[in-house]
Amino acid sequence: MTVRVLLVDDQALFREALAVLLGVHDDIEVVGEAADGDEALRRVAELRPDVVLMDLRMPVLDGIAATRRIRVDHPGTRVIALTTFDDDDDVFAALRAGAVGYLLKDVSSERLLEAVRAAVRDESVLHPSVAAKVVARFAALPDPAAPAQPQPLVDPLSEREHEVLDLLARGRSNREIAAALFLAEGTVKNHVTNVLVKLGVRDRTQAALRARALGLLMPRHDPPA
């Protein structure tokens, strides 16, 4: 499967560099570019891309408003926020608008490619600092209906699955988890799948949130990266 990508950023040089970076991979095709959110809406309607890499702060129409419109008008297109900023307002506004991922522009090419491929599988990839904000925000929400003690899972996580979940919740990619735990990347993918099934969630972001709600993310030291 070839992932069709639209690039949206008001900096032409950044779009050009991104197009070159993505274009060397056989499974990714850059089908178009846009310089602002308004142009992005027209290009999405015309090109029907699988994934949009969306800057947030742009003239005419910002990326958050454009993401919200794309989610409504073109639900089959996945939007990944790709921006310089990770302040709380931008992060949560983008996620509420329907972005399936949130990355900063200093992201590695490997993580960016992983995010694009993950998006078409309905999976989320968040920058580590963003993942930490999401988990912290969720933990701060009042939940008067919550039981006094977290209810255990019907099928408990294994010790290894707990380790994978901890790293996943910190925004680590499968490759980074594999390196940290000295596992094959394919083995990590299997563990991630098992974790999602046991938690009853669809993607990594939901897994982190549900694990936090169930008290599964106990304070512990990160394994060596």
Q: pLDDT tens digits for 125-171?
A: 888 778 777 767 665 655 555 544 455 676 788 889 989 999 988 88
Task: Tell me if 136 is assigned to some domain.
Answer: no
Instruction: Give me the phi and psi of 56, to 5 degrees please.
Output: -100, -45
Residue 66, phi-psi category: left (phi > 0), alpha (psi -120 to 50), beta (remainder): alpha
- Do 87 and 181 share a domain, yes or no? no
pLDDT at 127: 83
Task: Tell me if 135 is assigned to some domain.
Answer: no
pLDDT tens digits, one per residue of 157-206: 888 998 999 998 888 889 999 999 999 988 999 999 889 888 888 888 88
- Do 195 and 224 share a domain, yes or no? yes
- Residue 99: which of 139, 59, 127, 135 has the closest Cα? 127
User: For residue 215, with 0-12 CB atoms within 10 Å meaning exposed, 13-18 middle and 19 or more buried, which class applies?
Assistant: exposed
Angle at 122 between CA 78 and CA 58, to 5 degrees: 25
Distance, CA of 81 to CA of 100 (rounded, Å):
8
Task: Compute the radius of gyration of the chain from its Cα atoms.
Answer: 18
Question: Binning pLDDT at 50, 70 and 90, where does residue 46 land?
Answer: very high
Task: Tell me if 214 is assigned to some domain.
Answer: yes
Calculated CA dihedral for residues 193, 197, 199, 203, nearest 10 degrees = 50
| CATH number for 99 | 3.40.50.2300
pLDDT at 122: 83
**Single pTM value for the model:** 0.65
- Residue 116: which of 127, 106, 108, 124 has the closest Cα? 124
Task: Tell me if 42 is assigned to some domain.
Answer: yes
pLDDT tens digits, one per residue of 212-225: 888 887 654 444 44
Select from 126, 152, 182 the last residue of a domain. 126
